[in-house]
Amino acid sequence: MKYLIVANWKMNMTLPELRSYVNVIKSALIPSEREVAIAPPYTLLLPLFHMLEGSNIKIAAQNMYYEEKGAFTGEISPKHLLDAHVDYVIIGHSERRKIFGETDALIAKKLKTALSYNLIPIFCVGETLDERNTDKTFDIIVSQIENGLSLLTPQEIQNIVFAYEPVWAIGTGLNAYPAQAQEVHLFIKDLIQKKYFKTSIQNVKILYGGSVTPDNASDLMSMPDINGLLVGGASLNPEKFLGIINFKES
Ligand code: PEP
């Protein structure tokens, strides 16, 4: 299984900044056993696609709506993402849940629609600090996953990338210890396996996200059930992002 490393630029970067970023990243060698995707703001999706031509870096979106078209002012449709050559779409990021009030029910619809348009969802789940401190981490993960996947068939679930992003680790500089992340990744894998597949599944990817840097990437990636990384802040600097992409395998 190829490791997947995804940059989530959030509401950062402009067109001039994009050009210099791409110059750095395009000239670097990316190991063939690692897949890389970048999720810029919507206005940069198509420019990024054109600037990356000739490289094997994939395009990702940070969000989408679950309808194809209509009176949904300000939203973006899966068809718009396909126009921009998007492969992956982040769904259920904690900032969407918290700041924009996205519910599990809405996220479930988005996952269903994304898959029906052959977009690969990166489905984010994770607990807050308060939930971790009150021993609710696993309950939260179960409810986010079960509700989020409620409209999908096992076949569809195989086409999702999961991302464990503890909310307390996002943008805080406090990454989960590798063993802490591994514990939840294994839990997610077991949950999906038992509930939806009954047999062992090999190819479902679970990314870790939360204050990943070039300094902690190798240790995180040394865990058996961490199959890639979702990187926010550190992905805004191309040298740092390359440092993460090129983490040393132990
Ligand atoms: C994220 O927003 O998905 C994220 C992981 O952010 P950061 O790397 O900045 O913690």
> pLDDT-derived band of residue 63, with 50, 70 and 90 as boundaries?
very high
Q: What is the pTM of this model?
A: 0.97
DSSP state letters, 160-185: PEEEE--GGGTTSS-PPPHHHHHHHH
* Whole-number pLDDT of residue 197: 85
Report the separation in Å between the CA atom of 105 and the middle of ligand 1, taken as the mean of its atom positions: 23
* Whole-number pLDDT of residue 174: 87
- Establish whether residue 148 lines the binding site of ligand 1, counting it when its CB lies within 6 angstroms of any ligand atom: no
Q: Amino acid identity, residue 142?
A: V
Chain Cα centroid distance, residue 180? 19
* Whole-number pLDDT of residue 175: 85
Measured CA to CA, the distance from residue 163 to residue 148 in angstroms comes to 13
Whether 239 sits among the annotated catalytic residues: the reply is: no
Which helix (H) or strand (E) segment holds residue 8: the answer is strand 3-8
Q: Does pLDDT of 199 surpass 80?
A: no
Whether 50 sits among the annotated catalytic residues: the reply is: no
Report the separation in Å between the CA atom of 131 and the middle of ligand 1, taken as the mean of its atom positions: 19
* Whole-number pLDDT of residue 52: 96
> pLDDT-derived band of residue 250, with 50, 70 and 90 as boundaries?
confident
Nearest to 209 by CA among 248, 242, 170, 241: 170
- Establish whether residue 102 lines the binding site of ligand 1, counting it when its CB lies within 6 angstroms of any ligand atom: no
